[in-house]
Amino acid sequence: MRLAILLAILGAMPALAQTPAEQITPRTLPLPGRTAWQPQGCRSVPFEDPALPARTAFRRAHGDLESTNEVDLAYAPVFARQWIAEPGLYQVTTPAFDSAGNLYMTPLLPHEPILMISLEPTSGARRFVIPLAPGRRGGGAAPMLLRDPQTGGEVVYVNAYDHILAVHTDGTTAWDAPTGLAAPTTEDQGPIGLSWVPNADAVVGLMRDGYVVLLDRRSGAPLLPQPLLLPGQPTPPAPNSPPPALAAMVDTLLQPLVNFPPGGSGVAGLIQVLLGGSSKVANNLAVDPRSGRLWIAASARDGEDGAVDGVSQLGAVYRYDVVPDGSGWRLDEVCHRNFSGGSASTPTLGQNGTRVYLGDDAGALIALNAADCSDAWSVTLDAQIFGSIAAASDGRELFAGSANGIFQVFDEGGSGRRGWTAALDFYDIPSTLSGYGGLNLLLAGIGANGLLIQTGAGLTTGANKLPVRAGIAHIDRLTGQARWFADGLEESLAAMSTGPDGALYLSHSPLRRAFALALGLTNEPLLGGVSKWSSTRDDLLARDTACAAAARADNARLEHGECPESALADLRQIDELRAQLLDAGDRAAAAAEITPLTGRRLHQLDRRIGAQPVAQTGTAPAVFEREMYRYHRRVARVLERACRILPP
């Protein structure tokens, strides 16, 4: 159903004393018990490098280099919104986090000349602003945070199309380097992705008009003779464009948040990018750090759709290898795979970089073999997939989001298998509101004890899904059922980004809700910025963290002989969960959620684990296997004891 038809239907409806948003109420869920989900089998081993921070937070868009949307920590099983910061900034990208938990964000077309803003995590107060210089175009590309192995500090990288900046975490500039592109003059000349490729130690910048640049991480020096232009042609406009009169209303509603340029396409252009229309590149990139491969979803070459007309009806995912070339580097296209529709799905890497996952515009989740871009399998869902697929490092589990739900899919090697579909019944909707129902608003985030999703309620009739209420849900990974739900307000177009304190930091980018406001379905004002969602029951967070760590340790015990690198990766994650457990336990004891004795007992149990007894290098294989088995068993038993002494 197009919005024009929707307008006609709404115009024929009688005036209501209350808006639909006021008639819909959130449901109250009981406190969640322990999840029965357990990791099984050998996991993908996260890539490690001195330049990469721990996987305890989002360090770039979609979490990590592979765009998996996964963090190693446990999510709070019970939470509420703590604060909203910078409500005047339209934030379509995720924050990146340093080790202290500070946020780094790039707003889209702000009225204030901001390229990047940093907030502290306790209250959301500003730390500093990197101004947007005249003639530069920022926004649309989440910052990226790396360590500096030479100094031990951390550096934030931010893309401004014709320049990329490296900024220390105190706000001082390390370098400001040209990309080799001219200052932008059209709407499609903007930054859209930023990553890092270890073999060249290069910062990778991806632009909406199809340019790719490589700059030296340490100095900003160019590593390519000139920026690479992807071979595709722009896609045709995506369907379901809003009627001009309605788009103008939404432009006016968004004007306090977004400084749309005069004569530009306004909200209609933003919708095209989100749907992959009228674009060469409409989403981020993924990097396989083990091999130096770049995976970019863009538009296909002209003519591959059967007509040489300067427009591509097909999307394509390209594999480019970063290859040494004399004193510099080059990008070699190795293979590509075309698919239906535009390029609105970020590629996701899984299975140690051997698999690539993405979605087309018809609702198919596609799995490719990374060696040659050949099809491994595809599974049909029900609508175009949002952003990237969330790919778990264990269990071969994938989670894809569309407007109609969150879908679990298993990669079984030669085929994909659908699992559960998450229920979206978090609101009580009166029977008088015909055509209203539950909505999924974003892709899923994966934590050690479940998933986080943004869900809502609104008009669900036809192809246009308009939320009037929104909230955050914690989903059980085993069953797809809700463990907790907290009503909120604003929708996001970014991802479920998590900081190193385990809290969710949700970017605010009202778009669908702006249309709902224009149509009179809600009267709540639009909010930009970012909100923090924190644990309100640290005893249950400590319990979930202890139980997740115990399950991880037991899996390491079972798999240490079959896949020792996987077992060692489990132990690294267990160390992160142990630190989270003690921190949450201390807060729970201070809040009298557990007794002081239980709090002290958690520390006593943790000390019983001790250090790993042997090092793999220089140790006889049989000795290493025996000693590590004993260590895994001890860790599993101690953490299971910690799990049991906390609330059920």
Query: Does residue 371 carry a pLDDT above 60?
Result: yes
Least Cα distance to 138 among 127, 148, 128, 130 occurs for 130
pLDDT at 340: 87
User: What residues does 296 pair with on adjacent strands?
Assistant: 285, 318
For range 286-301, the mean pLDDT: 96
Q: Which of 425, 636, 641, 429 is nearest to 549 (CA)?
A: 636
Burial of 548 (0-12, 13-18, 19+ CB in 10 A): buried
Region 109-129 average pLDDT = 97
Residue 560 in this model has a pLDDT that exceeds 50: yes
pLDDT of residue 7: 46
Residue 583 has pLDDT above 90, yes or no: yes
pTM: 0.95
E runs forming strands in 370-519: 374-380, 390-391, 397-402, 405-411, 416-421, 427-428, 436-440, 445-447, 450-459, 466-475, 482-487, 497-498, 504-507
pLDDT category of residue 360 using cuts at 50, 70 and 90: confident
- Distance, CA of 82 to CA of 102 (rounded, Å): 16
Query: Which residues, 6 or more positions from 166, have their beta carbon under 8 angstroms from its beta carbon?
Result: 155, 156, 157, 173, 174, 175, 176, 177, 203, 217, 220
- Separation of first and last alpha carbons in the chain: 47
Alpha-carbon span 587 to 595, nearest angstrom: 11
Each residue's pLDDT tens digit, 163-187? 999 999 999 999 999 999 999 888 8
The pLDDT tens digits for 210-265 are 999 999 999 999 999 999 999 999 888 877 778 999 999 999 999 999 999 888 88
